[in-house]
């Protein structure tokens, strides 16, 4: 039996009671805030803003990667930015994002309903994001989401960020939860890679910021149209019989979800 099959068997025998959730693109549509901050950064550097869709596709791997991609895609990208130039651009982005964070984005439909249902059912909740702690705390507060999470692991809480599994494992340790009995909900390849590396079942929302390749190749993930669907799906996953077992190497929760359209 493979490691993933062993985890699946344990999940089938245990009621899953811990849910870790990504922030940007999963709980909150924060792209308008981020794109506006990137536009202001570029203007201050003497470049034209990029199209909304372009910058939205860069979200999910942390600010340094976002800024690097924005610089490369802009009119400044004819010459590769030096490390010092990237650091300065990041400083500008953070300064502008302090003003835009939480101003233009919105909580996705179904998020509050889903969080309330999960909490009412006794699930322990954690937020794991690549966003730095300071803007993460602001966005959670402005979105009225802070109260739902016992643990928040931000992009600078520990040295590693997703797709490294350590942020998920760190959250599990803080909650006293076995990773195999925890579920991650996210929106991107970064979330899938982190969850599978942590040997953790993973759900991916169909909205959000999946990255340049979209949802292609996100094998091993289950799918949600809304976070409001999650409580019922977790109940099914916890009580499903062995006849619903997955193919080798996939998590049980992926079997009961609808394939990507």
Written out in words, the top-level CATH class of the domain with range 31-100 is mainly alpha
The pLDDT confidence band at residue 189, using thresholds 50, 70 and 90, is very high
The pLDDT confidence band at residue 173, using thresholds 50, 70 and 90, is very high
Ranges in the chain annotated CATH 1.10.150: 31-100
pLDDT the model gives residue 5: 39
Q: What percent of the chain has pLDDT over 90?
A: 72
The pLDDT confidence band at residue 256, using thresholds 50, 70 and 90, is very low
For helices 230-239 and 3-13, angle between their N-to-C axes, nearest 10 degrees: 100
Q: Find where tokens 């909740």 sit.
A: 125
What mean pLDDT do residues 202-226 have? Answer: 87
Q: Which residues are catalytic?
A: 22
pLDDT the model gives residue 77: 83
β-bridge partners, 19: 125, 183
Report the distance separating Cα 76 and Cα 54, nearest Å: 15
Ranges in the chain annotated CATH 3.40.50.1000: 3-30+106-255
The pLDDT confidence band at residue 170, using thresholds 50, 70 and 90, is very high
pLDDT the model gives residue 181: 87
pLDDT in tens, 22-79: 999 999 999 999 999 999 999 999 999 999 999 999 998 889 999 999 999 998 987 8
Strand positions, DSSP E, the chain: 18-21, 28-29, 106-107, 124-128, 151-153, 182-186, 202-205, 222-224
What mean pLDDT do residues 214-223 have? Answer: 82
pTM: 0.83
Domain covering 3-30+106-255 in this structure, CATH number: 3.40.50.1000
Identify whether 163 is preceded by a cis peptide bond (ω within 30 of 0).
yes
pLDDT the model gives residue 169: 98
58 vs 257, more confident? 58
- How many other C-beta atoms are found inside a 10 Å radius of the C-beta of residue 42? 24
pLDDT the model gives residue 15: 59
pLDDT the model gives residue 250: 55
Residue 201 has pLDDT above 50, yes or no: yes
């Amino acid at each position: 039996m493979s490691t993933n099959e062993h985890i699946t068997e344990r999940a089938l025998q245990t009621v899953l009671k811990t849910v870790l959730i990504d922030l940007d693109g999963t709980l909150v549509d924060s792209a308008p805030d981020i794109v506006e901050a990137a536009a202001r950064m570029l203007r201050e550097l003497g470049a034209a803003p990029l199209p909304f869709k372009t910058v939205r596709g860069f979200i999910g791997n942390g600010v340094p990667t976002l800024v690097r991609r924005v610089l490369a895609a802009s009119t400044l990208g004819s010459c590769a930015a030096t490390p010092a130039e990237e650091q300065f651009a990041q400083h500008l982005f953070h300064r502008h994002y302090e003003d835009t964070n939480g101003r233009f984005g919105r909580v996705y439909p179904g998020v509050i309903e889903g969080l309330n249902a999960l909490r009412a059912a006794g699930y322990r909740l954690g937020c794991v994001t690549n966003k730095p702690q300071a803007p993460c705390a602001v966005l959670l507060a402005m979105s009225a989401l802070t109260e739902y999470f016992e643990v928040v692991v931000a992009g600078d809480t520990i040295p590693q960020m997703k797709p490294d599994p350590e942020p998920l494992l760190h959250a599990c340790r803080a909650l006293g939860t076995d990773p195999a009995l925890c579920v991650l909900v996210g929106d991107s390849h970064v979330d899938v890679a982190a969850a599978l590396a942590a040997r953790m079942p993973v759900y991916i929302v169909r909205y959000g910021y999946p990255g340049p390749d979209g949802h292609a190749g996100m094998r091993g993930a289950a799918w949600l149209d809304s976070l409001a669907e999650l409580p019922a799906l977790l109940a099914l996953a916890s009580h499903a019989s062995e006849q619903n077992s997955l193919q080798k190497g996939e998590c049980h929760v992926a079997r009961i979800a609808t394939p990507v359209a």
